[in-house]
């Protein structure tokens, strides 16, 4: 692995800390203090921050780049859990379970810089700044809810319904009923996230387009012609 660590550089770490919702509500001096406890690791595309069954005690914050979090089934089938963009973090479960191992893989999908804060330091900050705990719990609750919803959809919903719901979840309320959205990940990752194959997901996109429900644009953009009609199609 061509992973290397950058010495403490508070300015760079401060920018990283300010990206993260669990920290960026604090006073400037508090964020600078947290930044001084961070260090940066750099990963090339295809390298792993951690693998399943590895033990760890750090919070990982993506500063630049992109990281995919996924699981492998006993048969070796990949199930995408989420994509981490700048400001997103992972490793929160191990902060509260010192003897726990990772159940997922974290792989850089492009050259990536990650700020890391060790478990002991994070726990001290949680005691000193209780608001961080509330923000962290809120994020963990959202992730658990998302994971449960994803599991339920894969178990009982058709692929077309899963895809329609995925598209609908990426529509912000202010976009109206005929929005243009940008897919948050590549189609092969959408397939993994929805528990199907890239070939099947491509066919379903074409099906929705042939039905006049969406238009596939450049740059991963999708024009939804009528959100209500799209949702009705999945029923």
125 in a structural domain = yes
The DSSP 8-state label assigned to residue 229 in this structure reads H
| Whole-number average pLDDT of the chain | 87
Query: Is the pLDDT at 69 greater than 90, yes or no?
Result: yes
Q: What is the pLDDT of residues 184-209, one digit of tens each?
A: 999 999 999 998 999 999 999 999 99
**pTM value surpassing 0.85:** no
Is residue 133 predicted with pLDDT exceeding 50? yes
pLDDT at 91 over 50: yes
On whether both 192 and 128 belong to a single domain, the answer is: no
Mean pLDDT along residues 63-77: 88
Give me the sign of the Cα torsion angle 50, 68, 146, 174. Answer: positive
Banded model confidence at residue 115, pLDDT cuts 50, 70, 90? very high
Q: Is residue 3 part of a domain?
A: no
50: its two tokens: 């951690």
- pLDDT single digits (tens) 9-53: 444 678 888 888 889 889 999 999 999 999 999 999 999 999 999
Q: Taking residues 75-91, report their average pLDDT.
A: 88
- Are 144 and 185 part of one and the same domain? no
Tell me if 226 is assigned to some domain. Answer: yes
Asked if residue 141 and residue 70 are part of one domain, the reply reads yes
Whole-number percent of the chain with pLDDT over 90:
52
Helices (H), 64-158: 92-96, 119-128, 130-156
Residues 188 and 132 in one domain: no
The CATH number assigned to the domain holding 215 equals: 1.10.10.10
Q: Domain total for the chain?
A: 2
Q: Which two tokens stand for residue 25?
A: 């509500």
Residues 132, 165, single domain; the answer is no
Record the tokens describing residue 225, joined without a space: 């012609």
Is the pLDDT confidence value at 231 over 60? yes
Instruction: State which residues form the domain around 38.
Output: 11-155
> Does residue 132 carry a pLDDT above 60?
yes
Whether the pLDDT of residue 224 is over 90: the answer is: yes
């Amino acid at each position: 692995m061509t992973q290397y660590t950058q010495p403490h550089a508070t300015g760079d770490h401060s920018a990283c800390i300010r990206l993260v919702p669990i920290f960026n509500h604090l006073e400037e001096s508090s964020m600078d203090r947290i930044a001084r406890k961070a260090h940066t690791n750099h990963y090339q595309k295809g390298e792993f921050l951690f693998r399943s069954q590895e033990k760890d005690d750090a919070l990982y914050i993506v500063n630049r780049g992109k990281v995919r979090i996924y699981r492998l089934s006993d048969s070796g089938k990949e199930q995408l859990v989420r994509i981490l963009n700048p400001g997103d973090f992972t490793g929160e479960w191990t902060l509260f379970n010192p003897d726990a191992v990772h159940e997922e893989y974290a792989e850089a999908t492009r050259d990536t810089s990650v700020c890391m804060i060790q478990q002991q330091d994070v726990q001290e900050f949680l005691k000193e700044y209780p608001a961080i705990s509330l923000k962290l719990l809120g994020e963990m609750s959202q992730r658990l809810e998302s994971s449960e919803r994803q599991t339920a959809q894969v178990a009982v919903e058709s692929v077309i319904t899963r895809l329609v719901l995925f598209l609908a979840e990426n529509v912000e309320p202010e976009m109206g009923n005929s929005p243009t959205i940008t897919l948050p990940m590549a189609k092969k990752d959408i397939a993994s996230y929805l528990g199907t194959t890239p070939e099947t997901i491509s066919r379903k996109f074409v099906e929705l387009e042939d039905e006049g429900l969406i238009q596939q644009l450049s740059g991963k953009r999708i024009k939804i012609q009528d959100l209500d009609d799209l949702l009705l199609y999945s029923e």
